[in-house]
Structure 1
């Protein structure tokens, strides 16, 4: 599952979820803008930063890290990026870091160099599988917990989250975004789920998966894959067409070459017979030189040999015409 993109989308769409997860006030989300920040001239990118609005200068900056797989260098990377951000942007406000693990087993065991920071009030570590029952949690926390829940419990939890969304999110546009996000999580977790099962989870009587955003995303991916396959097939077809054209051209060229060779051979045999009659036996050395003559040169020799009286005349002619 693409957890990084899911959590980025979650915090971007529903920032209240971030403040819910560590016990903050959901209303705090109004005072922040969530973004991914690239640290210039470095290879670092901070995936999640909650920056206070300009009117909330006293509020802390929140750095977010989501970890769903083992990474022994997690804290080294996190604090390197965090302090590099502080150096580059020189904010005057305080900061907080929130690290969200799928489970406690995902956390690095070697933390001694960072223990002072990790155990300070500025760093909060959360483990999604320890958050308790989704029904007891806020909508935002429930959506995050859904990511790590078992496939068996997913249908029940989705129904609960859908009910919460419909009852708690009054803004229709935001409501649709939240439902789309829940749908995305479900379809990443259960890629083979049937439209009927998905409709049941979302309490829909007439569900058309083709109308979902997820379907459109998958369709784009599949279209690109098919496009590459078709492109390769077309290339092969074009190569085959070109091969046939070239084969025909080469065939014609070979035919012409064979004709020239046959014509030369016939002319050569005729010349040798005429020379035999005209001047008698010709030396092996001169025979080799005659064999090197082109068809045109052989035709010229046929005319010239009528005036030959000896082998010397032939040698002289070859000397003048065979360079």
Structure 2
């Protein structure tokens, strides 16, 4: 499951969810933009960074990492990226760091040399399997849906859909939440088509309702006004290039340019296909096969 991409979309759609996970008010996210930031000099990329807008009252920068595979050197890399960022942006007023794990067993041992960081109030660790089921929040429910057992996925997804429908008058991101629920289920059942998923969840009828269509139109207008669509494209480009670097090594400037020219739907398709790549020729062949599209 392409968790990096899922988390990026969720937090870009509603960054307030991050603060809900920390037990804070989602209103704290007002005045923040969620981005993926590359530290170009060393080819480091932090999964997500909540950057305050210039007029925000709180100028704290939040570093967010989604760690779904065990990595014994994760903390060394994570803090290296943070301090390199602070070196490049010395005007940073303050910072906080959040690491999201699916469960405790994925977290590596705490390096003794980093005890000052790990024991400070600047570093927060979230384990999705520990989330309180009594929390009545769509955002937290999305997080739980990512790690729930497959046998319970449909039931929980339907419960979230019902909750989203009940909040149509108060939640301006109604259509975006519906899309995220569907996307998570699609990733968890890759053997099913999107049409089969829609039928299983009863989304076919929901997407035809006037309420959904109006919310979808409003979301599109808001995206055009705030640049969210552009942000999604740039975010997907960054994530695909990062995953390619991990799978097949450095991507040549020519191939990088071809990837950056792809539309969003092809970037998402490449993000799925690259999981099977083992060498750069796989990427070359994929780009050639999809050039006509």
Report TM bin, short chain. Answer: 0.5 to 0.7
**2:173 alignment counterpart:** 174
* 1:91 CA displacement: 2.8
* 1:225 CA displacement: 5.6
* 1:92 CA displacement: 4.3
In structure 1, runs of 5+ residues without a counterpart are 209-215, 232-323
**1:25 alignment counterpart:** 25
* 1:174 CA displacement: 2.6
Q: When the two structures are superposed, what TM-score results if normalisation uses the length of structure 2?
A: 0.67
**2:125 alignment counterpart:** 125
8 Å contact from structure 1 (residues 49, 61) kept in 2: yes
* 1:206 CA displacement: 7.7
For 1:125 and 1:132, the matched residues in 2 are separated by 15
**2:112 alignment counterpart:** 112
For 1:94 and 1:192, the matched residues in 2 are separated by 45
Q: Which protein is bigger by CA-based radius of gyration?
A: 1
From 224, 228, 232, the counterpart of 2:289? 228
Show CA shifts across 1:179-216 (max 9, x none). Answer: 111111110001223645533424544889xxxxxxx6
RMSD (Å) for aligned C-alpha atoms: 3.1
**2:137 alignment counterpart:** 138
Alignment of 1:43-62 (within 5 A): 43-62=43-62
8 Å contact from structure 1 (residues 19, 29) kept in 2: yes
For 1:16 and 1:4, the matched residues in 2 are separated by 18
* 1:120 CA displacement: 1.1
Residue 46 of structure 1 aligns to a residue in which SS? strand
Alignment of 1:164-313 (within 5 A): 164-168=163-167, 170=169, 174-193=173-192, 195-196=195-196, 198-202=198-202, 204-205=204-205, 228=289
For 1:34 and 1:16, the matched residues in 2 are separated by 10
Residue 55 of structure 2 aligns to a residue in which SS? coil
In structure 2, runs of 5+ residues without a counterpart are 209-264, 274-284
Asked if residue 100 in structure 1 is aligned to residue 100 in structure 2, the reply is: yes
Higher helix fraction (1 or 2): 1
8 Å contact from structure 2 (residues 62, 98) kept in 1: yes
Show CA shifts across 1:6-49 (max 9, x none). Answer: 10111111111111111111111212111111113221111211
For 2:175 and 2:187, the matched residues in 1 are separated by 18
**2:147 alignment counterpart:** 148
The more displaced of 154-163 and 172-181 is 172-181
**2:78 alignment counterpart:** 78
Residue 41 of structure 2 aligns to a residue in which SS? coil
* 1:219 CA displacement: 9.9
Show CA shifts across 1:122-161 (max 9, x none). Answer: 111110011132x634111111121111101101110121
Decide whether aligned partners of structure 1 residues 149 and 229 sit closer, same or farther in structure 2, where only a CA change above 3 A counts: same
* 1:169 CA displacement: 5.1
Decide whether aligned partners of structure 1 residues 196 and 84 sit closer, same or farther in structure 2, where only a CA change above 3 A counts: closer
* 1:56 CA displacement: 2.2
Show CA shifts across 1:259-307 (max 9, x none). Answer: xxxxxxxxxxxxxxxxxxxxxxxxxxxxxxxxxxxxxxxxxxxxxxxxx
For 1:40 and 1:99, the matched residues in 2 are separated by 22
Give the number of aligned pairs.
Answer: 223
